[in-house]
Structure 1
Amino acid sequence: MVKSGHLYGIGIGPGDPELMTLKALRLLRTVPVLAYPVSFGKSLARSIVAEYLPEGQIEIPMLFPFKIDESAQPYYDSAAEKLAEYLSAGQDVVVLCEGDPFFYGTFMYLYTRLSERFPTEVVPGVSSVMASASALGVPLTYRNDAFMVLSAILPAEELLPKLAVADAAVIIKLGKHFTKVYEVLKQLGLAERAKFIEKATMQNQRIVPLNEVDPTTVPYFSLIMIPSQWQP
């Protein structure tokens, strides 16, 4: 009987390849099968680690179109079964995940499908939230602050009460939802305190004053940070 392979979900950080952990780098270089998400014909995850990839590694692009009007679940089903073929044959598989695998990461959906069938290990990574705080030069929280992470996809009537009670917050997945979020922040008197960053730690990172952001150009990989007001 063939011993099943191990599945590794590794966080590779938000864009700067030097933010990978040593453990993630070791697995990336030694595991024979590499899988990574592909959207719209490109893989951001693979591009982050490209310079570290060894020769001869089997590569499995996993198509996740992430269309608003289409469920991604069938694509996760298909990707999981493809990985299961290699794992069942005794081959270890490493899956790339931007940021941290268990913090809004694509690997979570593969983990729920495969972790009960195969030995699985998750290697944490630097999330865009933590990387953005450093890039912006603002401490997120102090002492007993209540910190909240919210998706910009939420309707305004849900964002309003949540932001009203947070001492510090981050709003992710901005994209086309920027204008809605900006209006909510103005209603709560938080707009002047808020910071905007896109593509944190990547070569094309941009930090722009909130009132100068062009809503038509805001990418998915952008966020608004509302740091703590605590003063020592």
Structure 2
Amino acid sequence: MGRILCAGLGPGDPDLISLRADRAIRGASHVAYFRKAGRAGQARRMVDGMLRPGVVELAMEYPVTTELPFDNPDYIRLLAGFYDGWADRLAALAADHEIVVLCEGDPFLYGSFMHLHSRLQGRAVVEVIPGIPGMAGCWNATGQPITWGDDVLTVLMGTLPEQDLVRHARAADALVIMKTGRNLPKVRRALSRAGRLEAAWLVERGTMPGQRIARLAEVDGADCPYFAIVIVHGQGRRPERSAAEAPE
């Protein structure tokens, strides 16, 4: 069997790509990456100038992105067919070539590559190079620790029902909400109901050109790009922390 290597690219800044991923990308003869139809693709933009001359590029264009709700049967059917088709194609190519698949953030943390990974088992040797998760780039961009002491970090999807967002936000110490985009008004309402809105930050395009950091309460609910994450920093679960445990 040939080899398919998925390179985690990190949060967006090319300087945060690991040395191992950098070597794999620069030496690749075949590079595959996800993108929305008609767009260059964020993963492809991140490696601009790194690919060697003559590299074969495989643009995996999603058949649908935000046009349908993620739980719509048609959405599920279209995406399943998309992943099935590309798994077949990559497995066939891997018989003769090593293929590097580009993936923003870390491939195993809500990454699209996971859907290919499960379909490629037994059909090719599949390896994954870890990447810095996008959320880590965002909370570092705020200049504040995301957790203290024994805080529990909760990661949510903005696509969840509002009541679920409220319930988790009330129980969370530190909170990250991904997949905001057009879900931002719902996220704002949920955090307000949970009493967490005033402590929430919106980080857009974290570590990328055009990065913006703003208090969520001061942002227009409709003003949110796809690459945006909501963050609520933890404050430490135990008020009685000892001096040795408390932040300096």
TM-score, normalising length: structure 2: 0.88
1:24 is aligned with what amino acid?
A: A
Please show how residues 205-216 of structure 1 align to structure 2 within 5 Å.
205-216=211-222
The superposition leaves residues 162-202 of structure 1 with CA deviations (integer Å, 9 ceiling, x where unpaired) of 11111111001111111111111111211111111111111
Q: Which residue of 2 aligns with 1:57?
A: 55
Following superposition, the deviation at residue 68 of structure 1 comes to: 4.2
| Stretch moving more, 152-161 or 70-79 | 70-79
Give distance in 2, aligned partners of 1:104 and 1:145. Answer: 22
Give the drift of 1:29: 1.2
Report SS of the residue matched to 1:217.
Answer: coil
Aligned partner letter, 1:82: R
Q: Which residue of 1 aligns with 2:72?
A: none
Residues 37-56 of structure 1: pairs in structure 2 closer than 5 A: 37-42=34-39, 43-56=41-54
| Aligned equivalents of 1:188, 1:60: Cα separation in 2 | 44
Q: Does 1:82 align with 2:80?
A: no
Provide the rounded CA distance (Å) in 1 between the counterparts of 2:231 and 2:197: 10
**Structure 1 equivalent of residue 22 of structure 2:** 25
Within the candidate set 158, 176, 185, 1:170 is matched to 176
Alignment partner, residue 181 of structure 1 = 187
Paired residue for 2:65?
66
The CA distance in 1 between the partners of 2:66 and 2:92, in whole Å, is: 27
Measure the CA separation in 2 of the matches of 1:154 and 1:124: 27
Q: Name the SS for the 1:224 alignment partner.
A: strand
Alignment of structure 1 residues 1-232 onto 2, 5 Å: 4-42=1-39, 43-64=41-62, 65-69=64-68, 70-71=75-76, 72-88=79-95, 90-230=96-236, 232=247
Letter in 2 for 1:61: A
1:66 & 1:91 partners in 2: Cα distance? Answer: 30
Provide the C-alpha distance between the structure 2 equivalents of 1:115 and 1:132, rounded to a whole number of angstroms: 33
RMSD: 1.3
AA at the equivalent of 1:154: L
Q: Separation in 1 of the partners of 2:118 and 2:28?
A: 21
CA distance in 1, matches of 2:45, 2:225: 18
Distance 2:65 2:123 in 1: 26
- Identity of aligned pairs, percent? 38
1:125 and 1:95 mapped to 2: Cα distance?
A: 13
Q: How far off is 1:205 after superposition?
A: 0.9
Number of aligned residues: 228
**Aligned 8 A contact 2:170 2:195 in 1:** no
In 2, the alpha carbon distance for the partners of 1:127 and 1:115 equals 24
The residue type equivalent to 1:95 in the other structure is: V
Structure 2 SS opposite 1:144 = coil
Secondary structure at the aligned position of 1:63 is classed as: strand
Where has structure 1 moved over 3 Å in runs of 4 or more? none
- How many Å separate the matches in 2 of 1:214 and 1:202? 21
> Residue 15 of structure 2 aligns to a residue in which SS?
helix
**Separation (CA, whole Å) in 2 of partners of 1:167 and 1:23:** 34
